[in-house]
Homo-oligomer: A and B are copies of this chain.
Amino acid sequence: MPRVSPNRAPGRPPRGHSPASDARFHRRLGEVLGHATEVFCEKGYEGASMRDLSRASGMSLAGLYHYFGSKERLLYLIQKETFTTILQKLKTRLEESDEPEQRVRIFILNHLEYFLANQEGMKVLSHEDEALKNGLGSEIAAIKREYYRICLGLMEALKRERHLDFDARTAVMSLFGMMNWIYTWYNPRVDGNARELAQRMGDIFLSGVMSGDPRSTRRRSRARHKL
């Protein structure tokens, strides 16, 4: 009976070992992923070689293949963990409020806090968006789609509550652009921490989106430039 791989599936802990060695296994695996994230962040996925990753992580070339199976799978694991984490944090935090505007604020703050705390991983996630092929790529794409749809839902809830008529898709994509572009310019000495940044970006974005609120008397800008 032929087996596709001579070893067990890479990245899985060994069968029937002690909990101690399981823990060591996962810790080692996480360390390597951390170093790999740094290298991918600095040199890009295509620009980083397996030898770069080997050197940075202190694990031999053969060791990397023993643990991860391929370069592509390494990127996949980084992206999956990063995206899964930010998505899970978001879901938890969204339980804090039912108020539409506040929920959008939570979304922005969650995204920026995680982005700045885990800048390398989020850059790899944003910048190497098209690097994964076939199955691995579509799995990440599915998480992204869920993340997008949550944000779209928040936006439409806001529209409904305030009787606004802006285009939710453009708004969500613009918001993602504002936030994901950060890795190209953020400087902690100048731009403050995540809370301050989320406050400023949230003000710009939400005031912009809500400027058509009928409860507001101010229609000048929109009216003047219609068509």
Contacts and interface: CB of A to CB of B under 8 A. Distances in A.
A206 to B, nearest CB: 6
Nearest to A148: B185
Chain A interface, DSSP helix/strand/loop, else mixed: helix
A181 B176 contact: yes
Contact of A211 (B105, B191, B200, B207): B207
A20 to B, nearest CB: 41
A200 B167 contact: yes
Q: Interface extent on A, as a size class?
A: 35 or more
Interface stretch (A66-74, A79-87, A218-226): A218-226
Contact of A205 (B180, B182, B204, B220): B204
A202 B178 CA distance: 13
Given A129-B184, A217-B217, A225-B199, A204 B174 contact: yes
B208 A203 contact: yes
A225 B208 contact: no
A225 B109 CA distance: 13
A190 interface: yes
Contacts of A35: none
A171 interface: yes
Interface in A159-208: 166-167, 169-171, 173-174, 176-182, 184-185, 190-191, 197, 199-208
A98 interface: no
A105 B167 contact: no
Contacts of A134: none
A157 interface: no
Given A167-B200, A174-B181, 14 more contacts: A127-B127, A169-B190, A170-B191, A174-B205, A176-B181, A177-B179, A177-B181, A199-B227, A203-B211, A203-B225, A208-B209, A208-B211, A210-B221, A216-B218
Interface of A: 44, 46-47, 101, 105, 127, 129-131, 166-167, 169-171, 173-174, 176-182, 184-185, 190-191, 197, 199-211, 216-218, 220-222, 225, 227
10 contacts: A44-B46, A171-B204, A174-B205, A176-B185, A177-B177, A177-B182, A199-B225, A211-B211, A217-B218, A218-B218
